[in-house]
Copies of this chain bind each other. A is one copy, B any other.
Amino acid sequence: MSKRAYNFCAGPAALPEAVLLRAQSELLDWQGKGLSVMEMSHRSDEFVSIAERAEQDLRDLLDIPSNYKVLFLQGGASQQFAQVALNLLPESGKADYVETGIWSKKAIEEASRFGNVNVAASAKPYDYFAIPGQNEWKLSKDAAYVHYVSNETIGGLEFDWIPETGDVPLVTDMSSNILSRAVDVSRFGMIYAGAQKNIGPSGIVVNIVREDLLGRARSICPTMLDYKVAADNGSMYNTPPTLAWYLSGLVFQWLKEQGGVEAIGRLNDLKQRTLYDFIDASGLYSNPVNKSNRSWMNVPFRLADDRLDKPFLAGADARGLLNLKGHRSVGGMRASIYNAVGIDAVNALVAYMAEFEKEHG
């Protein structure tokens, strides 16, 4: 086997090598049962134990209060954009949305198809380089919920605070920063997150939903998209994505072994400071985001001269530093440094960036 590369992909993203090794060793025969996890009935004792352990480990990691259900669903965050509205936005009601980048815009577009959406705040006046403070937000009095995206994967813009919405449930797309540091789940009505950044492979999405928000689905909501149906059936109204659920559970176990979200948060802080500090001190690289809104997980950066992009990427590839090309909608570079991307990867990246700057700067 060749050496494992340093993988800075924005998602599907790097997974812990220990998780892959464990999955590999069990792939044909889970714990001596003579079959793979993906060949088991989802209702078998074996799989139910895997599913329940995954949920409990996630509950432990995020200290999820007992009045929240944890769901393992399909369709990714994009399907949630509809699902949130179909479950929580009454036909004649209104919802507040905060627009901070491409993903929150998509959430707004989709919700608008099903009801009245008020854009309570937008980062557009700041060219999406800063998040407007809550004093600038225009929240509705009668909103069914307030929705925001806690980390914009493409723009590299992250909330370092939790909005205060009183009795109005706060709903957040936490796909690209869930489990990256401690968060107070009790502040939210619902958190959802596609797995393919900090949880597991693509094809599974985690919802953490406060119980009082269940049972509000509109009549036009497909049964499979009704959170209450999912909750009442332990996320097994039909066959769930068992392999992805199992792999997510292995990631949760790994994260506990790393010391949990507090410990990984300290490491993530070190990683992001290492990279941003280097960028800020350099003469070749730059990141335009307001310092307090910079994403810990997704670090977009530009080279002073676009013509250097190609040689930069080629040199990175040659050194096993993969997937640094920025999103096609914004260009430049992006280093995604999720939980499974270690400080060694960040150090290797910085070393290469320094070397490249010395040659081309």
A: which residues have CB within 8 A of B? 1-5, 7, 9-15, 17, 20-21, 23-24, 27-29, 32-36, 38-42, 44, 74-79, 81-83, 86, 110, 113-114, 194, 196, 201-204, 219-220, 222-225, 237-244, 247, 320, 322-323
Residues of B within 8 A of A86 (CB): 222
**What is the minimal beta-carbon distance from A49 to any residue of chain B, in angstroms?**
15
* Docked CA distance A79–B244 (Å): 18
A2, B36: Cα distance in complex, Å = 12
Q: Known: A35-B14, A203-B244. Contact between A110 and B222, CB under 8 A?
A: yes
Instruction: Give bound CA distance, A219 to B184, whole Å.
Output: 37
**A204 CA to B15 CA, complexed, in Å:** 21
Among A5, A240, A244, residue most surrounded by chain B Cβ atoms (within 10 Å): A244
Q: Which of B17, B114, B225, B242 makes the CB contact (< 8 A) with A202?
A: B242
With the chains together, A349 CA to B85 CA distance in Å? 50
On chain B, the residues within 8 Å of A110 by CB distance are 222-223
The listed residue with most B CB atoms (<10 A of its CB), out of A14, A32, A76, is: A76
Q: Which residues of chain B come closer than 8 Å to A204, judged between CB atoms?
A: 203, 241
- Give the chain B neighbours of A82 by CB distance below 8 A: 222-225
Cα–Cα, bound, A17→B39 (Å):
11
A245's nearest neighbour on chain B, judged by CB, is: B203
Interchain CB contact (< 8 A) of A35 among B4, B11, B194, B219: B4
